[in-house]
């Protein structure tokens, strides 16, 4: 059994099958525990957030899902859908 830790506070994160599959596919997967997600305004810095900008509300405040990309899941999917259609 592997041990997984939060990227922010370094506390242990409960292991689930989904988490283990995500780590198998992408070892740079971002882990943020429930406590850090609840206190996101204070604890989570901008380097852990999406770099996309929304037209009306400014910068996206969602969490990145991997250290490889600067986007959240929503914006990453949106960008890749455009590439597939070309």
Q: Model pTM?
A: 0.65
- Host H or E run for residue 11: none
C-beta of residue 41 within 8 angstroms of C-beta of residue 63: no
pLDDT at 63 > cutoff 80: yes
**Cα torsion for 8, 9, 10, 15, to the nearest 10°?**
-80
Q: Give pLDDT tens digits for 12-23.
A: 988 888 888 888
Q: Give pLDDT tens digits for 52-62.
A: 887 777 788 78
Q: Which of 51, 57, 47, 42 is nearest to 71 (CA)?
A: 51
pLDDT value of residue 41: 64
Task: Give the contacts of 1 (CB within 8 A, at least 6 positions apart).
Answer: 15
Q: Is 80 helix (H, G, I), strand (E, B) or coil?
A: helix
């Amino acid at each position: 059994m592997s041990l997984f830790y939060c990227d922010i506070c370094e506390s242990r994160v409960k292991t689930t099958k989904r988490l283990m599959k995500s780590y198998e596919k992408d070892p740079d997967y971002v882990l943020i525990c429930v406590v850090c997600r609840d206190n996101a305004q204070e604890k989570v810095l901008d380097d852990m957030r999406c770099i996309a900008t929304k037209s009306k509300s400014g910068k996206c405040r969602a969490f990145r899902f991997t250290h490889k990309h600067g986007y959240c899941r929503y914006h990453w999917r949106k960008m890749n859908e455009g590439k597939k259609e070309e």
